[in-house]
């Protein structure tokens, strides 16, 4: 099974694909880069809950999905995982 990836936008408008380490409604942890040169970043909901934002090495990253959308994504993922869970 592959790594879950999301697309975030940088402060200057460029799109960047990052790997999700963990996801909850309160925060999304992502990894930028590969190998020994990777950097972790915590994305937290903005004040209006319409996006997630975080900072890595002085640069701002924005994940343009609302808290409600992320909550629905998490619920959908848990439902899929429960369906395919091996028995025994």
Tens digit of each residue's pLDDT (9 = 90 or more) over 42-59: 999 999 999 999 999 999
Q: Residue 30: inside a domain, yes or no?
A: yes
Q: Residue 64: inside a domain, yes or no?
A: yes
Tens digit of each residue's pLDDT (9 = 90 or more) over 56-67: 999 999 999 999
- Greater confidence, 85 or 76? 76
Which positions ≥6 away from 59 have C-beta within 8 Å? 10, 11
Domain count, the chain: 1
Among 7-11, 39-43, 73-77, the minimum mean pLDDT is found in 73-77
pTM of this structure: 0.85
Q: Residue 33: inside a domain, yes or no?
A: yes
Q: Residue 46: inside a domain, yes or no?
A: yes
Q: Residue 88: inside a domain, yes or no?
A: no
Q: Residue 63: inside a domain, yes or no?
A: yes
Domain that holds residue 22: 5-83
């Amino acid at each position: 099974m592959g790594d879950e990836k999301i697309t975030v936008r940088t402060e200057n408008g460029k799109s960047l694909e990052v790997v999700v380490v963990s996801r909850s409604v309160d925060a999304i942890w992502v990894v930028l880069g590969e190998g020994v040169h990777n950097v972790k970043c915590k994305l937290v909901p903005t004040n209006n809950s319409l996006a997630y934002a975080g900072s890595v090495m002085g640069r701002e990253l924005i994940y343009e999905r609302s808290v409600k959308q992320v909550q629905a994504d998490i619920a959908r993922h848990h439902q899929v995982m429960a369906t395919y869970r091996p028995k025994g």
